[in-house]
Each structure stands twice: as structure tokens, then as C-alpha cells.
Structure 1
Amino acid sequence: MPSQLTTAPAAAPEGAAPPRRPVRPALRLAGWLALAWLGPLLAYAVGAAGVLPVVVFGLAAGLLRAGRTLLDRLVLAGALLFGAVCAAGLLISAWPWGLHPVPVAGAALTGLLGVAAATGRRPRLPRPEAADLLAVGAAVLAALAMAGPYLRAGDLAGRLAYAMTGEDNSRHLAAVQGIGAVGGYLFTDPQAAARTTPEAMVWYPQGFHLTAALLDGFLRSGAPADPVTALDHYLGWAIGAWAALVLAVLWAALRLAGRRLDLPGTLALTGAVTAACLGSELARFVVYGYPGESVGLAATVVLVAVTCRPLARTRTQLCVVGALCVAVGFAYLMFLPVVAALVLAWLVRDRGRLRHHPLLLAAVALATVALTPLPAVGGLLHTDQVDNVATGGGVFPRYDAFLALGGLVAAGLAGGGLRLPVWRRYAGALGAAVAFAAGFLIYFRALGTDPRYYYGKTLHLLLAVLLVGAGALTLLLPAGWRRPPGRAGAAAAGRAGAGGRPGRRWHGLDRPARFLVAAAVVAACAGLAGLPRGTGIFAQPFGDRTTTWSAAWWSGLLDRPRPADVTARALAQAPPRPGAVTVVVSTHRREGYLATLFLSTLQGTAGASGPAVYQLPLSEPARSAALVEAVPGPVRFVAADPAAARIVEDLLAARPDLRPRVTTQTLH
């Protein structure tokens, strides 16, 4: 029987006022809210707005509780923020402040403050581990390797020589500049974007471009950028997107490999995957300028990881999956069929967990379904995207390299991986990527043509998924390479080291040998990838030379110094003329086209100059003759040399009616 002896609360003195509710938490919240807006305002005033994205990123990672390591937190925070930026771009495009750093940072910090207040969390980050540093260091090293040609170029012409290898760089730069000028997505104001941006980019997925323009505004604290600075910053964001792809592939491979992989094994896997990224066609993303595909593929790879090995916290898992779907839809929508297959399979498998969070599931599903296909629907309604699938040059991939990677991954899966749920799920993701690529191949075969440009994009996805699966090979490693699970495993390893089987020893004396083996594995993979001489399994013909994309990039085989020099001189000597379209004329085939393309982008007139660039002959004098018919208004021809100037003089002599609207300038 419970005791009846209880202590009665002391009576309040007669006439005393009732106790007040504590107001300190409310005051503290109001103070943090004020700081969320005063901090960005002060940073902007002193020209230090560039620190604000770092603060937002750090706070977002600190408020997460999913993920065991610091790298987990950073990758997941990056996924959430990128998806949030893509979605918030619609609001930014509508509000009156555009991309101004103060309202953007203030809104972001206010949102994070709301998360902290609702969850009761305070920012907290795990300590970095050696494996985290290996992955981040490898991604930074890969980025520096691909940035090398830009870094060693001494001037604008030198950087342009490499940027002009892929003419897509001009269009992506124009889109970034256009978003900065419009103050949001280009498709929200097509008329304002018409001057600065090519028509084809108005409805192109702009997740990367909006993010780059947003970050660039912070970096410059809102100050306008001159053409040289705009190009340099764009190249930095493009290489950063590629670094994010490498980091995403590394993180996904390590996540699927699991926590039992020890430090030497982590070194071997990280080095092997990084070598493959540098030696394979993924390096082409920097060479030809595919930053949107870089971030879209990175988001898809992270989605593979979190659907194959879901996060322990269901709410966070839901939000991350939704953010990644939106990110892919706004960055590179071509991967959406595989994304849909991954998400549907995860929803079916984990329906028991999700059933306990019906409201959050409904909210995330509604937002994801509404936002993810938005760029695709807009593009289908306003452009001919479906017809573009069958355009572009032929694609002739190195199938032997895919066979080698596929065989290695299959060996790991057959060697015990399929007994584990995470690897069975990965096998399904790999099957979806294979089916996606095979579907495109069958489509082109049915058309009776060689596989075209976009078939290569499906192979990029397949290659990335195969590299993520490289962690399956860790299942074939000796037991000494795998971290013992917890104290019981450590004790068992100690007993084995004292007198058990040598293969299961976990002793300090074994570590040097394992590190030597890991270094040998990395060296072997670097050789297979062709990093020393460019003759690896991914090598392909470049004219009369067979090498890899990265080796051709480093050697200067692909740069274009002549059109770059002409463009740099035209930028300095022929400033934009209001109302007139500026066109570069050269006696060399494609040189006038490339120089006009990049000159118009750097001068911020890529949209207005579109009729003078596209759908025209590439050689003179046919190009100039067709150009004056395509452009109805004033035209200024900028001749690269006296020989090019004579082409325009001959045209005017034959067509004197053009003289009122055509002028000529010769560069010196």
C-alpha cells in the first residue's frame, strides 16, 4: 500500500503576487532572431558577406543528428541546402530583393533558428576522423589537378584557351550572369533574360547556375563583376561542382562499404576511386564544361547511398531524399528516371518506418512531387527538348573499361555482398542504371543511328554507380583489413593476435604492412586509370593520339589559343555598342564562331547576339553573308586581321545596300 506521508507544498505568503512565467527563453530567441539579420547586414556593410554561406553551412551541419562522422554531416547538410536553394529560388525570383546577400542570408539563418527552436537542438559537430580527411583531401586534390591548366595560365587569353575547349562554358556562364541580372530563375522573366542569355538556356535546368550566382553575390558582397572576374569566378564554381561530384562518389563508396573498413582499407578505396574519377570520362565534365551535370550526378550518387543504406533517423532520411529529388530535377533532370526508381524502391522497402510519420511523409511527398518535375515540364512546354535527345555527335565508349569495373563489382557482390541488405539494394540501383543506359542504346539502334550525345550521359551515371560499388571489393579483403565491430570484436581480435588465426590479427605491427598494401593498390589503380602517361583503360582517340581526357587536358592538346587571343583582344578593343550586334570575323574555320560566342557572353549580350552565332555556316565568306541576312539590325564586324577585314569589304562591295547598318573594325 503506498505511503500516505507526503510533504505539502509551502503556502505562499498572503498577498504575494503569483509567480511569473520565465521570459528568458523568449528573449534569447528574439536576440538570436535579431542577430540572424543584423549579422548579415554588418557583414555586407564591411564587405565580408563571403563568410555568410560558410556560417549557414556550418550551422546546418551542426543541427543535424544523422550520420556518424563529420563527413556524413557535411555531405548531408550540403544535400539539404542544395535542394533547399533550388526550391527557394522560386521565392527569390518573386521577392523584390533578388539575390541580395542580406535578405538571402537573413532568411536562411531565420529558417535554421526555427529548426533549432522546434527541435531543441544546438549546433554540434563530431570530431573529424582520418577517413574524413582522406576523402576531403582526395576531392581537393582532384579539383586542383583539373584546375591546373587554368591556374598556370598567365592571363585572360590563357584561361580562355582552355575554357573554349568546351563551348558549353559560354552558355553556362551566360546563364549565371543572366540569373544575376534577372535576380532569379531565367524562366521567371524570359523578357529580361533575352539580352544576356541564349534562348536555349532560359528553360534549361538552373540549379547549378542559381547556386553559383547566389554564392558569387556573397563572394563579391553584391559588387558588380567585370568580364574577367565573372569568367574566373564561373570557372571556380564549375571546378567546385566537379569536386563535389568526386566527394559524393567517395562518400557513397565509403558509406556502402560500412564501418568495418579500417584506415588502410579506406586509403585504398579512396585512392582507387579518385584515380578512376581523374582517369575516366568524368574528367570531361571540366574539359567541356558540364557543371550542371556534375551537381546533378553528385545528388544522384548521394541518393544511391542513402537509399541503399538509409539514415537511422527517419525524419532526416525523408527530408534528405526529398531535397535530393528536387536537386536532380533542378540541376540535371535527365537522371530523374533512375531517381524515381531508387525512391520508389526505398518507399516500398521502408514503408514500415515511414508509416509512423504520416504528416511529414505527406508534406515531403507533396513538395517533392510538385517541385521536382517543374523544370522538365517547363522545358517540354516551351522548348523542343524531346527532339534534342537524338541530336549531337556519335558516342563510342570504352566498353572494355565498363566490363572491367562491372566484373570487379560483381566479384564483390558474389563474394558475399548479396547476403547483406545494403548490397542487395545496391544491386537494384546498379540494375536501374544499366537498364537506363540500355534503353537509350536500344532507342538509337531502333532509329538506325549510332548512339548520340545523350547516350553518353547515361553512361556517366552508370560509371558513377559502378565506382560507388567499388566498396563491394572490401568484402573480399582479409579480415585483418576490417575494423572489428565494437568491444567484442576488439577482444576477439586480440585473442586471435595472441594465438588465433593470423588472418584475424588486429595488432599494431600489422598496420605498416597494410598501409604498404594500400599504397600499392592506389598506385596500381592510378596506372590502370592512365594518370602517369594517359594510356589507361579509359584512353580513347584524340586525333592521331590515344589518351585519356585528363591527360589530353593537362598536356594542352585540347586548348584553343588562337580564338582565345582574338577574343581577348576584341574584349579590350571593341566594347559593346548599344543597339548593334558585334561579330568576330576570321579566316580560320570556327574561329569567328567561337570568338563571337565567348565575346558576346563576356560582354553580357549573349541573348541579343544569338542570331549572329547559331545556325550559320562555320567558314568565311559564307558565314558573314548568311549572318547579315539573319540579323536585321546594325552589325559591327570585328576583323581578327587585315585578311579577315577584306572578307567584309568584299561583302560590302557586292552588297552596297548593307553599308548603312554594317560597320567594320580591325583588331591590332
Structure 2
Amino acid sequence: MTVIPKETSEGAATGRSVPKIAAGLALAWLLPLATHPIELDVLLPLVVLAGTAAIQRGSVGLLDRLVLACAQLFGAACLFGLAITLWPGHLHPTLIAGVSLTVLVLVAAATGRLNRTPRRAGPKHGLRVDWLLALAAAGVSLISLVPYVVRDLGGRLGLPLAGEDIARHYLMYDVIGRTGGYLFMRPDALLPFVPDGEWRGIANYPQGLHFAYAVLDRFVRSSGGSGAPGTAADVFVWLLIGTFLLLALAVLWAARRIAGPGASPARTLPVLLLVAAWLVLGDPVTVLARGYPNELAGLACAAVLTAIVARPLTRLGEQTVTVALLLVGVSFSYPLFLPYAGVAALWWMRRARLWRRWWGWVAAVLTAVVAAIGPLTAMAASSGEQLLLNGTARVVDRPATAVLVGLAVLTLTVRNGLRAPSRRTALFAVGVASACAAGIGLYQIATIGRPVYYFDKLLHLLIVVALCALGGLARVPVRAQAVIALPVALAMAVAGGKWHTTPVAPGVQLALGKDRGSPEAARDALLMARMFPDGGNAVNVDLMGSPWRNWSATLGAAALQGQYRHFPGWRDLLYPAGKGGTYADMERLVVNSPVTVRFFVHDRRASMLVVDVEHPNRPNVRPGQPLPVAFGDPLAPSNIEAARLLAAKYPTKVQVVYATPANP
């Protein structure tokens, strides 16, 4: 009997493979060259994703390959961005797709995937579980998409615009698109767009996801340049939503993977239902609603990492590459989660005895060097008290999180669960995530007396890791699962909030339209950006409506028009929660403005100015109630009056636009 060498039997590159390699390399460039003239570049990312899924060797199922391919591509895109920033082609879709497909062909040839014999799909019940997973992901997608699909662009953009952070995320996405690469590698490119006081912080903020968004925007529009503000904002919002859907898929897949290949559909169904309910009803969906794209990407990478550390891929090389790319993805998106990811990766390296292989040391050193970029740039962007800062994130539901963690620990340990290495690793992951959250919480309590913003961010990480670990629930009898899963999901639906006392869960409020954000502000910002796409060499100030609407719209327009550099001076004057400003303060801003000031006015009742900032005479408004349009001192000029007075006094410096706000 003839013995066939292993590399030949697996289809490695041989003489017979050369024509296939040549054909693949030719198609890698012919396809992008063909799609660009007919504006179908949007298909190319799907081709790259399908190709990456096809060359997987350490997994069997289609969903396994799809999730792993998404995770690997994100980490690879973060790395690719380092080279793209330096080459002259920047973000042109033809060039990026050609290089990406070329790399895929070469990897396929090197790993023997060109002549691969198809592998068996595994047990039949495994395929049925995949269908359940797909249905659970589809259910999450449907419920999550409804609040955005039924809204216009202003309504969609208005949801995250309720928090200030989304404007800076859009700004980085936009400027990366304009300049063609990472801002931390050439921060001077950011100078025309941001104020001097924020330049260093924004230039060094983790930008992996913003870069990926900017690249995908080019493919969606089949363009090598930036689009109109409205179009770019629309693509940005849908990419934000898509990132949440990928997070949901990653968490559901991780729970299924930790459940193990032997888990039957009957035992897996309650697990997936509980995880899906928590994703769309509980705290994870608030990360989407508040507009934190980087955190969504970091959580998705953490979920996939948790799964493959608990139950590694069958190929050591592919496992090593995937872990490395996930660490890079976390580093370039949300370095706050990197300590958890690093400890989880070290746990797997110890189990795999990677230290016994020379290439394992090389991989570890290279990964550590690249993964250090995220935290190092973040340190340059932050102050010494960064971890003590407050933010606009919703406070996490503390009791529900405690129940979830306790449930995850229970399901991993009962019935001799710790005899399995996968469950011991999952329990270790929950412990590490808990320690990270507890550590920062104790630090904040000791320093400022209470836990704030970044503590809730680490609770988000703990929630995601615990949801992944709920795969251990598949070991519990089906009746016991129903007793556990149904009451917990019901409790999540009927209440939410900091102490689980707020009627209706955050996800239900979002789905029913109770959580509106600032849609009027977003529509005003889009109106201003459509009228003056580049700002018209002016700072555009919204004075059309109520105080929060004006403040958020001015911020949003500054980001959309690339005029954020001129916003900070007006931020304090417009900010409704501050002391306010007088007409003299407003005039001083006009005089000191380096560009023209363009006021947008509409409602004659709208007012914000006061006579005395130390003793402002404003309407009394109960906490939680919207501020009235006439929020200023009755003795101070209204918004229209102030704009007219300034235009009359400074006719070459001030413009007044009588605008009609857009209706939904």
C-alpha cells in the first residue's frame, strides 16, 4: 500500500495546486476590479468573510466558522490598519479587497485548503443545535432591529446622541476616513478637526473599530472618498447596530460551545432562550442604545475568547492565531477588558503547554507587543484619574447581575461539573471577570466614595462572561432548566434599573419606543449638515428649540460637519445643567470666535440666557421632566432676540438662519 504524505493528503501546495493558486491570485484582483465600476463593492466583505470561514481547520459547523471568521477578521483588520495608514492607497476598496483576498489565497495554499476533502458535519443533533442557535440569533436581531427600522435617520441617530460620546466616535470614524488611517500614527492630521485641549485624547483613543467602520463605509458606498454627512451618519449608525448583533451572535455561540457537543437540542434550547432574553432585555442592549461601539466590539471579542479558551479549537496553530487576534481586537477596541483577556489567554497557554514550543514563545512576544499598542495609546489619551470619571452609561442592574453570576457558578459546579476542563476554565473566567469589576469598584469607593462609570463597564464584561458560562446549564435536566430560565427571563422583562426597581426592562422600553434619546436634536443636526456639509467655514449653533435639543444638535452638527474644533466654546453656554450664560457671555464668544458664527433659530419662545449666572432665574423643573422651551430668564433676551442683536452689531461675523425643523 502506498503511503501518502500528510501534507499531500491534506491538500498542501504541490505541483498540482500551482494552477489553482495562480487562478485564485488572479481572481483576488479581478473581482474587486470588476465590482468597483458597477458599484457593487459591498459584496467584497462578504466574499472575504466567506473565504475566511472556508479556510477554518479547527472547527466543523458553519456557525462555528462564521463566528471565528468574524473575530479573526476584526483582529486582522486592526493589524492591517497599521500598514494601510502608511501606504498611499489609503482606504480604496479595490486595493484593500485585492490585498485581503490575496492573503486568503496564500493562507489557503499554505494550510492545504485548496484541495481539502470536506469533513463530516458531526452528530446530527449538532446540526439541529446550530439551527436553534441561528433561530435565537435571528430572534435577537429581529427584536433589536425593530426600534431602529421603524425610525427615520434622525430617530436612529437620536438614540445614541442622548449621550455625548457618540459624537466623538463619529468624529474619529469620519477623520480616519478623510485621512486614510490611524490617528495615533499621525496625530497632526487631527489638528484641523478638534480643539487643542482634546487633541491628544482623541488622537490616542483606541481606534480599531473606527478604522473598520471607515473601511466598511467605503465598501458600502463603492467609493474611495468620504460621503455626504447624512450618508456617512446613516452607515455609521447601521454599523453600530450590526456590531451589537455580532455581539449577540458571539455570546449565544459561546454559550452553545461551552455547553459542549453532546448537549441535545432539548437541553440547549432553554440556555439559548435565557441568554437571548438577557441580551435584548437587560444591560447589554443599553450599550447599543447609548452608543458605545468600541465597548460592543470589546465585549464580542471577550465572548469568543471565553468560548475558545474553555473549549479550544482542534488545531493548535489555528487556536494560537485566533487567541492572538482576539487579544489584538480587545486592545484596539476596549483596552479596559485587556487584563481579563490576557489572564484568560495565559490560562489557555498553560493548559496547552505552549511554552514547550519555540514558536509559541515567538507568538506570545509578538502578540504582547502589538496588544500593548491599545493600552499605551489609551494611557497617553487619559488623565491620571481616568478610572474615576463619570459618564452617561446607564447604571447596571446590580441584583440581576448578582443572580446571573450566581446562576453561572451554580450551573458550572453542580453534578460534578468541575471534572470537565471546559467548565473549570469557564468558572475561572467568571472569577477573573468578577475580580476585575470588584477591584475597580473597591478602588473607586476608596477614592471617591462610590462606584461609577468604569465599574459599570466592567460589570458589562462580567455579564457577558457569565452569559457565556450559562452553557453549563445544558447539563441540568430540562424541567429544572425551565424552572430556572422562565422566571429569570420574566423578571428581566418586568423590571430593570440600578436595583431592579424600574418598571419594564431597558430592552422593552427601547422596543416600545419609550427610550427615544434625542431625535429632534439629531434631525436638527442633520438639517444643519445638509445645508452646510462642511460647516460653511462657520460654527453652527442650534437655538431652534429646547435646551437639551439645542445642546445635542450643536454637538452633533459639529461632528457631522467636521467643525468639532469650534464646539467647546459654545458647550458651556448651551449646557442646560450648568449655570448658564448671559448675553455678554454670548457676545464674547462671537467676538473671540476664529470663524463666522451661524445661529439657527425657529421657535420665538426658545430661550436659555440668564441675567445673573450666580442667581439664575429659571423655571422650576422636577427631576426627570423635560426642560421647557422657554428655559431662560424672562428678563434676558430670547434666542431669536439675542441672535438678531448680535447679527446687527457684527454683520460680518454673525449669520442668522431661520430654519424649519424636519418632521419625523
Q: TM-score range by the shorter chain?
A: 0.7 to 0.9
Q: Closer, same or farther in 2 for the Cα pair 1:403/1:523, shift >3 Å?
A: closer
Contact 1:616-1:627 at 8 Å conserved across structures: no
Q: CA deviation at 1:535?
A: 2.6
What secondary structure, in the 3-state scheme, does the structure 1 residue paired with 2:95 have? helix
Contact 2:590-2:653 at 8 Å conserved across structures: no
Given residue 408 of structure 2, which amino acid in structure 1 is its aligned partner? V
The residue aligned with 2:616 is none
Superposed counterparts of 1:530-549, under 5 Å: 530=493, 534-535=494-495, 540=500, 546-549=503-506
Contact 2:287-2:296 at 8 Å conserved across structures: yes
Q: Closer, same or farther in 2 for the Cα pair 1:174/1:147, shift >3 Å?
A: farther
Q: Closer, same or farther in 2 for the Cα pair 1:42/1:591, shift >3 Å?
A: same
Contact 1:529-1:537 at 8 Å conserved across structures: no
Contact 1:41-1:102 at 8 Å conserved across structures: yes
> In the alignment, does 2:594 pair up with 1:602?
no
Q: Closer, same or farther in 2 for the Cα pair 1:607/1:90, shift >3 Å?
A: farther
What secondary structure, in the 3-state scheme, does the structure 1 residue paired with 2:564 have? coil
Q: CA deviation at 1:538?
A: 7.7
Contact 1:261-1:474 at 8 Å conserved across structures: yes
> In the alignment, does 2:254 pair up with 1:247?
no
The residue aligned with 1:378 is 377
Q: Closer, same or farther in 2 for the Cα pair 1:36/1:397, shift >3 Å?
A: closer
What secondary structure, in the 3-state scheme, does the structure 1 residue paired with 2:568 have? helix
Given residue 641 of structure 1, which amino acid in structure 2 is its aligned partner? D
Q: Closer, same or farther in 2 for the Cα pair 1:42/1:196, shift >3 Å?
A: farther
**1:621, 1:296 → 2: CA distance?**
40
The residue aligned with 1:592 is 550
What secondary structure, in the 3-state scheme, does the structure 2 residue paired with 1:205 have? coil
Q: Closer, same or farther in 2 for the Cα pair 1:546/1:366, shift >3 Å?
A: same
Alignment deviations for residues 411-444 of structure 1 (CA, whole Å, 9 cap, x no partner): 2233121222111112211111111111111111
What secondary structure, in the 3-state scheme, does the structure 2 residue paired with 1:529 have? helix
Superposed counterparts of 1:22-33, under 5 Å: 25-33=17-25
Match of 2:266 among 264, 267, 284: 264
Alignment deviations for residues 440-476 of structure 1 (CA, whole Å, 9 cap, x no partner): 1111111132211111001001111111111222223
Contact 1:573-1:667 at 8 Å conserved across structures: no
Superposed counterparts of 1:36-435, under 5 Å: 36-122=28-114, 129-153=127-151, 155-196=152-193, 199=199, 200-222=201-223, 224-351=226-353, 355=356, 357-359=357-359, 361-381=360-380, 383-393=381-391, 397-415=396-414, 416-435=416-435
Superposed counterparts of 1:474-623, under 5 Å: 474-477=474-477, 523-530=486-493, 534-535=494-495, 540=500, 546-559=503-516, 560-573=518-531, 576-586=534-544, 588-603=546-561, 605-612=562-569, 614-619=571-576, 621-622=581-582
Given residue 129 of structure 2, which amino acid in structure 1 is its aligned partner? A
The residue aligned with 2:472 is 472
**2:171, 2:588 → 1: CA distance?**
24
**2:321, 2:276 → 1: CA distance?**
29
Between 1:109-118 and 1:289-298, the stretch displaced more is 109-118
Between 1:398-407 and 1:418-427, the stretch displaced more is 398-407
> In the alignment, does 2:629 pair up with 1:637?
no
- Which runs of 5 or more structure 2 residues have no equivalent in the other structure? 1-13, 608-637
Q: CA deviation at 1:270?
A: 0.9
Alignment deviations for residues 276-330 of structure 1 (CA, whole Å, 9 cap, x no partner): 1111111101110011111111101111111122222111111011000000000
What secondary structure, in the 3-state scheme, does the structure 2 residue paired with 1:389 have? helix
Measured on the aligned residues, the alpha-carbon RMSD in Å equals 2.9
Contact 2:596-2:653 at 8 Å conserved across structures: yes
Given residue 178 of structure 2, which amino acid in structure 1 is its aligned partner? A
Contact 1:176-1:212 at 8 Å conserved across structures: yes
Contact 1:174-1:601 at 8 Å conserved across structures: yes
**1:573, 1:76 → 2: CA distance?**
43
What secondary structure, in the 3-state scheme, does the structure 2 residue paired with 1:187 have? coil
Contact 1:280-1:538 at 8 Å conserved across structures: no
Between 1:414-423 and 1:325-334, the stretch displaced more is 414-423
Alignment deviations for residues 384-434 of structure 1 (CA, whole Å, 9 cap, x no partner): 244332111597543321222222223223312122211111221111111
Contact 2:283-2:397 at 8 Å conserved across structures: no
Given residue 581 of structure 1, which amino acid in structure 2 is its aligned partner? V
Q: CA deviation at 1:576?
A: 4.2
Given residue 407 of structure 1, which amino acid in structure 2 is its aligned partner? G
- Which runs of 5 or more structure 1 residues have no equivalent in the other structure? 1-21, 482-513
Contact 1:70-1:129 at 8 Å conserved across structures: no
**1:630, 1:391 → 2: CA distance?**
30
Contact 1:150-1:162 at 8 Å conserved across structures: no
Given residue 88 of structure 1, which amino acid in structure 2 is its aligned partner? F
**1:612, 1:639 → 2: CA distance?**
19
**1:444, 1:629 → 2: CA distance?**
42
**2:557, 2:367 → 1: CA distance?**
39
Superposed counterparts of 1:644-659, under 5 Å: 644=606, 646-647=638-639, 649-650=641-642, 653=645, 659=651
Q: CA deviation at 1:159?
A: 3.1
